[in-house]
Structure 1
């Protein structure tokens, strides 16, 4: 499997699917404490597009999945945005790009857009934002009353600081069976596949304590609506679950308002893990964006007919 060593020495695990000569490259970024497998259904859906099939790149963010551990100073959203720039430079240096982000992945795209504006404007031809936010924890209530949510967030913030200093260890992996009900409640909605929940649990189990706690401060404070407003002419789709407890519908609505050409979809009864919970809807939205981003191709028969007409003339 391809690997990329970043400028600060962290190693990324990267998967590349599809032909190098594809008309569009799609880069899909996963969420906090998850990994590239979150997008497995969408990667499969894009494989069957025939001549429209894009090249697809998925990778485990630093400190996640099979990528190397991050040092604490690198556990920030702006560093993730720079990592995306390095991935693009290595694996998709030319041609139009579609960026899709789930949760932390969507925030990473916003950081890339903010810090690499010229490259973004030149390359990015489509966006997919799934279960994400541009306003930190502004709207996060965990499905609880406001006062209780504020207490929980304060406790989470203190706990995150302790975890961030605990190093690249994964002791919680042994506790996954006990954590299953809490993870299911926090991440999933009314209907979900058991395999989807198990995948989310396994991914969480591989996330080191430093990654669980280290990214929390920048995730909670990010504010990028102004950056999104500058991307108004980029085709985009924004999806959110009606029962998302981490990035609830107000998060998606504010993103869609900042992007006038964005299509907003709120999925009834769904939670936070839409690529796994509602793979058909997410794949359809991604495919539609890819279609809009793919350069127009004249069918071979029409090109042949046009050539014959020119010769006859």
Structure 2
């Protein structure tokens, strides 16, 4: 059985599990955890295996990461009448959320995919950013230098300064070896053929100015997932939950309160 990853938790009510991207940690969703708790939900933000105090998985793959996430959900829900959660994932966390929704549909009754992609293909936007990150690591840059170079490329022109500062801090705290393994794992990700299997109501959130996961990528995903809706945040880049937390939270809460599983 996988080792339980570390996580932060706040509030009581329906459980929402938030999965950060490759440059994040549980702190990446701090604004959302607080908003969820204040509005009658239980917000849970993990640190992905290898991040913070969470023990890495071996081998470092989406299969192993999905097993760790599933274990966390099972422990959180225990003997609760509803054993499933709303699962929110950003970037690499969005890829992982797809993986969990496909492998363990019994654990996910709502799905929110933020600034992510169904696959990383040679030469696409995601692959370019991954390649640049690996090159920086090969050059010996420390993670603070990586954060200073990367985060300004990710955000849009209307980004909340405090959100950008939090993103920079989270990226700077990632272990360099873990970030390398995360980037390499993403290069093998491809769930395009499985999108039609996702049964949970799904909200896809795109940043209008996102150059990593452009809106048309999320729009294509919305077409492929049976019960999906798309929201594009004007002026936002690749970190919409930190760049425009108020608009993001409003859309998230509305979705959580209104989106229901279709009867079989």
Distance change (3 Å), C-alpha of 1:249 and 1:294: closer
State the TM-score, normalized to the length of structure 2: 0.86
Q: Is residue 16–residue 58 contact of structure 1 (8 Å, CA) maintained in 2?
A: yes
Matches of 1:92 and 1:80 in 2, distance apart?
Answer: 19
The answer to whether residue 119 in structure 2 is matched with residue 135 in structure 1 is yes
Q: Is residue 113–residue 227 contact of structure 1 (8 Å, CA) maintained in 2?
A: no
Distance change (3 Å), C-alpha of 1:153 and 1:91: closer
Secondary structure at the aligned position of 1:252 is classed as: helix
Larger radius of gyration: 1
Task: Please list every run of 5 or more consecutive structure 1 residues that lacks an aligned counterpart in the other structure.
Answer: 1-6, 143-148, 296-313
Secondary structure at the aligned position of 1:221 is classed as: coil
Q: Is residue 125–residue 293 contact of structure 1 (8 Å, CA) maintained in 2?
A: no
Greater CA deviation, 39-48 or 83-92?
39-48
The structure 1 residue matched to 2:192, chosen from 214, 225, 231, is: 225
- Indicate the residue corresponding to 1:281 in structure 2: 247
- Indicate the residue corresponding to 2:170 in structure 1: 203
Matches of 1:140 and 1:34 in 2, distance apart?
Answer: 22
Structure 1 runs (4+) deviating above 3 angstroms are: 137-140, 152-160, 173-176
Secondary structure at the aligned position of 1:245 is classed as: coil
Distance change (3 Å), C-alpha of 1:248 and 1:294: closer
The structure 1 residue matched to 2:42, chosen from 22, 32, 55, is: 55
Q: Is residue 5–residue 72 contact of structure 2 (8 Å, CA) maintained in 1?
A: no
Deviations 1:189-209 (A, max 9, x none): 111222212211111111111
- Indicate the residue corresponding to 1:253 in structure 2: 219
- Indicate the residue corresponding to 1:185 in structure 2: 152
State the TM-score, normalized to the length of structure 1: 0.73
Q: Is residue 228–residue 255 contact of structure 1 (8 Å, CA) maintained in 2?
A: yes
The structure 2 residue matched to 1:241, chosen from 199, 207, 214, is: 207
Distance change (3 Å), C-alpha of 1:293 and 1:253: closer
The structure 2 residue matched to 1:291, chosen from 257, 260, 263, is: 257
Distance change (3 Å), C-alpha of 1:212 and 1:154: closer
Matches of 1:188 and 1:81 in 2, distance apart?
Answer: 28
Secondary structure at the aligned position of 1:264 is classed as: strand
Secondary structure at the aligned position of 2:5 is classed as: strand
Distance change (3 Å), C-alpha of 1:139 and 1:44: farther
Superposition map of 1:29-68 within 5 A: 29-49=19-39, 53-64=40-51, 66-68=52-54
Alpha-carbon distance, 1:128 to partner: 0.8
Alpha-carbon distance, 1:248 to partner: 1.5
Q: Is residue 50–residue 56 contact of structure 2 (8 Å, CA) maintained in 1?
A: yes
Deviations 1:55-89 (A, max 9, x none): 2211111122x323526x33222211111101011
Matches of 2:130 and 2:202 in 1, distance apart?
Answer: 31
Alpha-carbon distance, 1:14 to partner: 1.3
Matches of 1:15 and 1:138 in 2, distance apart?
Answer: 35
Alpha-carbon distance, 1:34 to partner: 0.6
Alpha-carbon distance, 1:30 to partner: 0.7
Matches of 1:139 and 1:191 in 2, distance apart?
Answer: 28
Distance change (3 Å), C-alpha of 1:131 and 1:138: farther
Matches of 1:174 and 1:225 in 2, distance apart?
Answer: 34
Task: Please list every run of 5 or more consecutive structure 2 residues that lacks an aligned counterpart in the other structure.
Answer: none
